[in-house]
Structure 1
Amino acid sequence: MLQEFKDFINKGNVITIAVGLVMALYFQEIVNAVLDGVINPIIAAIFGKSNFTEIGFDIGDARISIGLVIDALIKFVLVAFFLFLIVKAYNKYVAKPEEEVTAETELSLLSQIRDLLAQRQN
């Protein structure tokens, strides 16, 4: 069982996932800094509040905080946009050599067809 555990830990996927998780934690710090330092103050100024979380209203003793909902939506959209850009760049980087191979393979295949047709006509 210990050997199986060592094999599991030594697989590349576990290391890749661990690195991804650590990067995600620090990426969250970037998102928080952008939100807290730039976006939230702008939205708070638009609504005339000193703090973004003050946007909302009271019903009896309960506080309905629309600012927290807006904050969560902005975080989601911002993270989704950054991930979209990263995945798009990654797909472009990965797909480029594949497209070259496909073009080369198509050219090679067409050349073979041409040669076979030329042999048939002779």
Structure 2
Amino acid sequence: MLKGFKDFLLRGNVLDLAVAVVVGAAFTAIVTAFTSNIINPLIAAIGGSDELGWGKEIIAGNAETFVNIGAVVTAIINFIIIAAVVYFVLIVPANAAKKKFVSEPEDKEASETDLLIQIRDILSANAGSADTGAHAKTLE
């Protein structure tokens, strides 16, 4: 049972996935720092004097009713940046490598004429060897 668990952990896909998670977490930290330090101040500058520019208190004086639209915009920008980087840095090169290095099996169907020609050739080759044997038997 432990051997099976060890084989599972050491399988290439699991190791690749672990590396991807670590790199993804590090990249998320970079994007979060970018949005916190660059995008959020820009949103605040556009939106006004609130924390992120587009926040409002639904009930005046009650901080728990603060709706922070700027944080939602920041999360959307984070998502778009991460999705774009994943697509252009990982998916596009992977698809190009697949096209270059992985040959797909040809889905070539032989037409009926091609199949009949192959059958004729096989039969004529077999008939030629069978005829020689048949003539040899009749001559004896």
Question: How does the TM-score come out when normalised to structure 2?
Answer: 0.62
What corresponds to 1:59 in structure 2? 58
What corresponds to 2:28 in structure 1? 28
Counterpart-to-counterpart distance in 1, 2:97 and 2:51 = 42
State how 1:82-93 maps to structure 2 within 5 Å.
82-86=85-89, 87-93=91-97
Q: CA deviation at 1:42?
A: 1.5
1:18 maps to amino acid? A
Which has the higher Rg, Structure 1 or Structure 2?
Answer: 2
Q: CA deviation at 1:50?
A: 6.5
Counterpart-to-counterpart distance in 2, 1:32 and 1:94 = 32
Q: Give secondary structure in 1 for the equivalent of 2:56.
A: strand
2:55 maps to amino acid? G
State how 1:11-26 maps to structure 2 within 5 Å.
11-26=11-26
Identity of aligned residues (%): 35
Q: CA deviation at 1:90?
A: 2.3
Moved more, 39-48 or 89-98: 89-98
Q: CA deviation at 1:25?
A: 0.8
| Structure 1 gap ranges (5+) | 106-122
Please report the RMSD computed on the Cα atoms of aligned residues, expressed in angstroms: 2.1
Normalized per residue, which structure has more helix?
1
